[in-house]
Amino acid sequence: MLSLRTIRRFCHSSIAATTCRVSNQIQGGVLEEPALVKLKSERDPEKLFNLFKANATNRLVIENRFAFEDTVSRLAGARRFDFVEDLLEHQKTLPQGRREGFVVRIIMLYGKAGMTKQALDTFYNMDSHGCKRTVKSFNAALQVLSFKPDLHTIREFLHDAPSMYGIDIDAVSFNIAIKSFCDLGILDGAYMAMRQMEKSRLKPDVVTYTTLISAFYKHERCVIGNGLWNLMVLKGCRPNLTTFNIRIQFLVNRGRAWDANDLLMLMPRLQVEPDNITYNMVIKGFFIARFPEMAERVYTAMHGKGYKPNLKIYQTMIHYLCKAGNFDLAYTMCKDCMRKKWYPNLDTVDMLLKGLVKKGQLDQAKSIMALVQKRVPPFRSKQLVSLKSIL
């Protein structure tokens, strides 16, 4: 049986331990936490710079990706590139500057700030801070070059850096290069890069094919785009949501609404879930191809599968229902949309009001107008006067 003295000693030890633990938590967390709050709320670039510099060794700040990126982004937005460089160069001299993952962050932050030279210098000078280069830092530097792609610079970097530092480039490297060539409009070069990828015993993946298909469709070279789609399927590479959406957009643009719908139906069988963009494109495709009943059926099916329409789907439905003369359904959907604080564009509202008035449904038109006037921020007075004149 415990004596009273033992119980007292135990209670005293527990309270002391708890007090010490709370004290440590205050020192380690609550005293440091305001630094994050201050960084987030500070608007003056110089004060922001000084505050971050004062916390340069504070792990709570440095390891917080959002705080770090947000600070650099706001300093760059204020065009204080001198502050950005000072902060990032200082970070490279600290212990974390020997970790490749951290240096990759520095390279990307320089890139997002538009400081390409400093990003490349960081890559080239990694060994001076005792940090080993791998394909990860190479890809980060290549990614920065892709933000504002220049053919000569990218080719030179791809040719020189791997051999200079003994880096074996991977599929990610090729995909960044292919995207850069596509952005520059050098589609044949992008395709040849994919062939070189295969020669290097690297398998093109869904990102490779999606990038190329999108670029060839965008530049109206649909035969090659279709061939790449077929090649992807033949090679056993499954398209993802983005690939499907790109293909569906192409089919809709060509007036092939039924083919677009077939792809929509195929997606779940390949364990790819359509999104609101997919449904919006197929709905629009049927309206444009003059199959409004099918567009409504797709919309109903979307509801049945648990999807909720967003503003773009409401806009598409209301606009094309008005064009098809179905003002009753357009009115119901417009009311539902505006009650959710989403507003179709003014041309669509104008078309709906005119259609309702023409059908003698003045009360419904006034109801829509009342909802239009509740918009925050309000439409311009000239626009409201124009809509009121319809009633």
Q: What angle do CA 135, 138, 141 make, to 5 degrees?
A: 155
Write 146-149 long-range contacts (CB < 8 A, 24+). Answer: 146/176, 146/177, 146/179, 146/180, 146/183, 147/111, 147/112, 147/114, 147/116, 148/114, 148/116, 149/180, 149/181, 149/183, 149/184
Q: What is the pLDDT of residue 21?
A: 44
Q: What is the pLDDT of residue 51?
A: 86
Tell me the chain's radius of gyration from C-alpha atoms.
29
Which tokens sit at 251?
A: 């089919």
Q: What is the pLDDT of residue 23?
A: 39
Q: What is the pLDDT of residue 22?
A: 38
CA distance 251 to 67: 43
Report DSSP letters for 159-225, one per residue. Answer: HHHHHHHT----HHHHHHHHHHHHHTT-HHHHHHHHHHHHHTT----HHHHHHHHHHHHHTT-HHHH
- Which one, of 214, 211, 217, lies nearest residue 194 by Cα? 211
Residue reference for tokens 């801070």: 129
Q: What is the pLDDT of residue 28?
A: 40
CA distance 20 to 3: 26
Question: Are the beta carbons of 84 and 75 closer than 8 angstroms?
Answer: yes
The tens place of each residue's pLDDT in the chain, 391 residues long, gives: 444 454 444 445 444 444 444 334 434 444 345 777 887 877 888 988 888 888 878 877 777 888 888 999 999 999 999 999 999 999 888 888 899 999 999 999 999 999 999 999 999 999 988 899 999 999 999 999 999 989 999 999 999 999 999 999 999 999 999 999 999 999 999 999 999 999 999 999 999 999 999 999 999 999 999 999 999 999 999 999 999 999 999 999 999 999 999 999 999 999 999 999 999 999 999 999 999 999 999 999 999 999 999 999 999 999 999 999 999 999 999 999 999 999 999 999 999 999 999 999 999 999 999 999 998 898 898 988 898 898 8
CA distance 43 to 61: 17
- pTM of the predicted model as reported, rounded to 2 decimal places: 0.82
Q: What is the pLDDT of residue 55?
A: 83
CA distance 390 to 364: 13
Q: Crossing angle for the helix pair 241-253 and 276-288, nearest 10 degrees? A: 10
- Which one, of 58, 38, 56, lies nearest residue 48 by Cα? 38
Which tokens sit at 109?
A: 């932050």
CA distance 313 to 318: 8
Q: What is the pLDDT of residue 343?
A: 94
Q: Crossing angle for the helix pair 33-41 and 65-77, nearest 10 degrees? A: 30
Residue reference for tokens 């279709």: 226
